Structure 1
Amino acid sequence: MQKRSHLPPLQTLRAFETAVRLESFTRAADELALTQGAVSQHVRALEARLGMSLFTRERSGAVPTRKAHELALQIRQGLNVLERAFEAPEARNTARTRARPRESVQLTVSVLPPFAERWLEPRLARFERKHPHIELALRKETTLARLNARDGVDVALRYGPGAWPGLQAERFMEEEIFPVMSPGYGDRVRSRPRRFADLAQCTLLKHRAQPWEPWFQAVGIDLTEPRGTPVFDDARRLLEAAAKGRGIALARASLVERDLSDGRLVRLWKRRVADIYAHFIVWRADSEKREAIDALRRWLHDEVARRAR
């Protein structure tokens, strides 16, 4: 007797993956030529099937949970496998004549969770299409991987000064910092700051690793690090608090791309301030997976160039 499949309908999986990747039901509906209601229905059907919420419903929209991002990545990889399996026979034959099949390689990548979820994962489908023989296994963690046989990490994406003893490091993206807030932050009690100095009268949210003072100095205002305000260890919680109108956050450009485009957050001023740190790809010079690491390095530079266009 044939076993009953436990897989949800393909259209449901595609709608869910697109909604997570774009972090918007509306944009997912546009990409898939569906209505927003249809996308929402597919997501609710999947949530009911799994017995868990995959999106947090906020006034500003639906926000994917960490589990949603993990599941969407697995679905994305599966959809890519299916697409390659059903591509036109002539395309497969042409590909075989152009190059011999390449051995599959898995790269374990250590990366900070906020950067993985807000910058890297939405772009991974392009990497997978370009390098189908390389499987990226993301390890989202806040500790520094040693990149040795014991921890099993092949390469790391780090945000910092760029000097890690015994490791190769290559800068692939600069970072810009600026204040952001909810569109509804200003009300009868608190008005939207018009000048830099107006921040002295606002609630400034703090990330423990991202102080305000360097930004104050860069724009030339005489303010010190805010005290008595909410402090966060996780950039995702910091930005979520800002989106809920709890205060103004100092954000990194790479982490708020989607929030700004969707209108969940707004940037206060256009003044450009470069952060003292940058994003680096880090690996061991004697790694046996240098070819795959080099492919990832080139792709990261291409993605940054693509973002700048």
Structure 2
Amino acid sequence: MIEYIPPLQTLRAFEAAARHLSYSRAAEELSLTHGAISHHVARLERDLGNRLFVRDGQRMILTDAGQILVLDIRQGLKQLAKAFVAARSRARHKDAQRTLNVSVLPSFAARWLVPRIAGFQADCPDVEIAIRPTATLTTLDGRDGIDLAIRYGPGEWPGLQSIKLMASTIYPVCSPNFANLHRLAAPRDLLSVTVIRSPRQKWRPWLIAAGLDAPEPEEGPIYDDAALVLQAAAMGQGVALARATLAAEDIAAHRLIRLFDVEIEDDYAWHLVWREPVVRDAQAHSAFRRWIEAEASRDP
């Protein structure tokens, strides 16, 4: 609990009087009357039980108690001023800082967006990006605070504006150890090993493209999230179908290897979507759109 402190105006009145050694000049500085300065000083003297000024003819002189007090008050006033300047600076910075809330699938956030987002922050330091990874399809109606979303699908969502960022090819991957252990030399070899499944990506289209008239696999671990599919493959749990967009980093790091030359085009693509009336900051939105389109164009 803070102990009793006299009013700030009283402290400022005494400090000014002590600096000028004059009630009249202190009153002029603070736009007060001579009587008001005298009242404030008298109040301090009553609170302290000590005289703060004495007169020597026409001159005012600080007492020992007054000299000590004015030094402490000046230090305190400087700290208050410093705190206020810092608070005002933070408030201005907050006003200048703009935030974009971007909803995105966790797999795309972790494997593609997050490794690149520092580039956008460097280009647009006044725009703060808040990544909201979720598998839930946001309505973009303003009630959930989401400004933009990156969706994976066919495009053309009713009531939403969208731009296609990138499509992807699909091919099988596994860990180097798994490939060596099972001597995976041809697509047919996959029919005798564990495959990793996902409800979002069926195996049969790739099997047909590889010349294998085989049914959709009914055994093997199932993961709903694409990032978990790739992680399971990197851990040696089996062979997974990977989207090139998401698997590129693992392949470059040799955590995964691509199997065979057969690939298929993904029916779906990544899109940036938004609802026009809900866009809160058109400039920040446009800056992010330009940046992510440029980044997507660099992907093979």
Whether TM-score is above 0.5 comes out as yes
1: distance between equivalents of 2:254 and 2:272? 31
Specify the alignment match of 1:191 in structure 2: 183
Specify the alignment match of 1:182 in structure 2: 175
Conservation of the 8 A alpha-carbon contact between 2:209 and 2:263: no
> What is the CA deviation profile of residues 128-165 of structure 1, one whole-angstrom value per residue up to 9, with x for unaligned ones?
11111211101110000011221110000011111211
Aligned residue pairs total 205
1: distance between equivalents of 2:226 and 2:295? 22
- 1:266-285 counterparts in 2 under 5 A? 266-285=257-276
1: distance between equivalents of 2:211 and 2:96? 55
SS at match of 2:159: coil
Sequence identity of aligned pairs in percent? 43
Specify the alignment match of 2:281 in structure 1: 289
SS at match of 1:301: helix
2: distance between equivalents of 1:244 and 1:254? 20
- Describe the shift of the 1:217–1:297 C-alpha distance in structure 2 as closer, same or farther (beyond 3 A): farther
SS at match of 1:291: helix
Q: Specify which of 189, 199, 202 is matched with residue 208 of structure 1.
A: 199
Specify the alignment match of 2:299 in structure 1: 307
SS at match of 2:178: coil
SS at match of 2:197: strand
- Measured after TM superposition, the shift of residue 271 of structure 1 is 3.0
Specify the alignment match of 1:234 in structure 2: 225
2: distance between equivalents of 1:191 and 1:280? 38
Amino acid at match of 1:274: E
2: distance between equivalents of 1:236 and 1:172? 19
> What is the CA deviation profile of residues 83-139 of structure 1, one whole-angstrom value per residue up to 9, with x for unaligned ones?
xxxxxxxxxxxxxxxxxxx94321100001111011000001111111112111011
2: distance between equivalents of 1:297 and 1:187? 43
1: distance between equivalents of 2:156 and 2:132? 21
- Describe the shift of the 1:103–1:270 C-alpha distance in structure 2 as closer, same or farther (beyond 3 A): farther
Amino acid at match of 1:253: A
- Measured after TM superposition, the shift of residue 187 of structure 1 is 5.3
2: distance between equivalents of 1:197 and 1:277? 26
SS at match of 2:157: coil
Specify the alignment match of 1:298 in structure 2: 290
> What is the CA deviation profile of residues 232-283 of structure 1, one whole-angstrom value per residue up to 9, with x for unaligned ones?
1122222122112111000111211211011010000233421000000000
Structure 2 unmatched runs, 5+: 1-94
SS at match of 1:256: helix
2: distance between equivalents of 1:215 and 1:294? 38
> What is the CA deviation profile of residues 172-220 of structure 1, one whole-angstrom value per residue up to 9, with x for unaligned ones?
11111110001001456x322x222222112111012111112223333
TM-score (norm 2): 0.65
2: distance between equivalents of 1:298 and 1:218? 36
Specify the alignment match of 2:8 in structure 1: none
TM-score (norm 1): 0.63
Indicate the structure (1 or 2) with the bigger Cα radius of gyration.
Answer: 2
2: distance between equivalents of 1:168 and 1:218? 34
- 1:1-309 counterparts in 2 under 5 A? 103-186=96-179, 190-192=182-184, 194-286=185-277, 287-308=279-300
Structure 1 unmatched runs, 5+: 1-101
Specify the alignment match of 1:88 in structure 2: none
